[in-house]
Amino acid sequence: MPRVKYTDADVALMARMMRAEAEGEGKQGMLYVGNVIVNRAKAECLDFKQVRTIRQVIFQVQGGNYSFEAVQKGNLFYNRARSVEKKLAKKNLDYWAQHPAKFALWYFNPYAPCPPTWYDQPFAGQFKQHCYYEPAAGTCASVYTGG
């Protein structure tokens, strides 16, 4: 059973986002970004109460901007998904979740050391240039339990 429901279109969309956000961090980095996407679709808390599909996660607007910078800036996101990224996205959707993004709902590249919190959410770990953040204890049980 997949971690979240998805269609072939969702796989391609997620693959495009994973590549756009983390191609420079290799397959592992793209998997971590994919895990954040899946976690947001599972989360029934915080900023993610109204997003249940991969498409809703990718195109979510917060504070007047898309949650994922790649949607606004274009770059690789608007290129066709390649088979390698589709395989990685399907892996995320079906079963893959590992530290530091296993329970993460956020990531960013600070171009400096990772801060200990991100909007009051605790630092979970770092992979290459991206810092990952989990929901604070007691704020988002659905991420930790699977929904």
The position carrying tokens 């391609």 is 12
pLDDT (tens digit, 9 = 90+) per residue, 45-96? 999 999 999 999 999 999 899 999 899 887 789 899 999 999 999 999 999 9
Q: Describe the chain by its helix, strand, coil percentages, rounded to 5.
A: 45, 15, 40
β-strand 130-133 against 106-108: which pairing, if any? Answer: antiparallel
pTM confidence score: 0.96
Residue 18 has pLDDT above 70, yes or no: yes
For position 147, what pLDDT does the model report? 53
pLDDT (tens digit, 9 = 90+) per residue, 95-145? 999 999 999 999 999 999 999 999 999 999 999 999 999 999 889 998 987
Complete DSSP assignment for 33-59: HHHHHHHHHH--SGGGTT--SHHHHHT
Q: Judge whether 107 and 39 are in contact, CB under 8 Å.
A: no
For helices 8-22 and 83-94, give the axis angle rounded to 10 degrees: 110
CA 103/CA 40 separation, integer angstroms: 10
Q: Judge whether 25 and 101 are in contact, CB under 8 Å.
A: no
For position 47, what pLDDT does the model report? 92
Q: Which of 54, 82, 80 is nearest to 67 (CA)?
A: 54
Q: Judge whether 109 and 25 are in contact, CB under 8 Å.
A: no
Residue 13 has pLDDT above 90, yes or no: yes
